[in-house]
Amino acid sequence: MHNILKLFQLDVYRYDVYKSPNIGLFAKTNDTLIIVPFGYAETKTSKLIEFLKVEGQLNISVAGTRLIGPMTVMNNKGILLPSTASDEEVQALRQLGRLKVERLSSKYTAIGNLISTNDSGALVSPIFEREVDRQIQDVLGVPVKAMKVGGYFQIGSMVVATNTGAAVHPKASEEEIKIISETLRVQVEPVTVNGGTPFLSSGIIANSKSIIVGSSTSGNELIMLSRAFKA
């Protein structure tokens, strides 16, 4: 089941993946493509395509897992995969012919939890110690800013961004919100998802056209998320 709220010219859907409201663990999207795990039902994938208004899908594993969200970083210019991604996985993405695809040269594998991006900028965890800044900038085609939010270094878990807005962990300071806004060039709103979860990427799949959130997301959270990502 799903329902829809339309505010600020933006569609917001409540939906589950694998009967879980933690939908951001299992999919990643940009404005034209959604990546979902091997074996995910075609009827349900079609629903996600409809919600997000994308052109198509790719069914794939990343590093042999179905945890697409934590293991990938994606905007409309490129895709970063962990160093543990297989040659077959990299080739499957490259064969799309639309995006630059590379493994990130880092020992850290859950890179989706450590990097948040749109087409204007990338927020990068300081845990990388600047070792991958140039590669991120090259693949995603954006400037890089290293920072924490609310004392946490998992910036990819804390910020979900599109080209129309961004949502951030509610413990973000005013200065952190300002830096995020300036880097990504969008308005930023502190919000939660799925009834109070502050680690936003676990419960959101979003692009510039629509957002999908877990079914446990409250009405008040839907309103705040619509405000964050308004077109």
HEC-encoded secondary structure of 107-174:
CCCCHHHCEEECCCCEEECHHHCCCCHHHHHHHHCCCEEECCECCECCHHHHEEECCCCEEECCCCCH
pLDDT at position 231: 44
Torsion sign (Cα): 221, 222, 225, 226: negative
178 sits in which H/E element: helix 174-184
CB atoms within 10 A of CB 6: 11
Report how far residue 6's alpha carbon sits from residue 211's, in angstroms, rounded to the nearest whole number: 10
β-strand partners of 100: 78
Which strand ranges, in their side-by-side order, compose the sheet holding 210-213? 3-7, 10-14, 210-213, 204-206
pLDDT at 2: 52
Find the largest Cα–Cα distance for the chain. Answer: 44
pLDDT (0 to 100) of residue 99: 94
pTM above 0.85, yes or no: yes
* pLDDT for the residue numbered 141: 98
Task: Determine which helix (DSSP H) or strand (DSSP E) holds 74, and give its type and residue range.
Answer: strand 73-74
**pLDDT reported for residue 220:** 94
Local confidence pLDDT in tens for the 231 residues of the chain? 455 454 445 788 999 999 999 999 999 999 999 999 999 999 999 999 999 999 999 999 999 999 999 999 999 999 999 999 999 999 999 998 789 999 999 999 999 999 999 999 999 999 999 999 999 999 999 999 999 999 999 999 999 999 999 999 999 999 999 999 999 999 999 999 999 999 999 999 999 999 999 999 999 999 999 999 984
pLDDT value for 98: 82
Which domains does the chain possess? 9-228 (3.75.10.10)
What percentage of the chain's residues is helix, strand, coil (to nearest 5)?
30, 25, 45
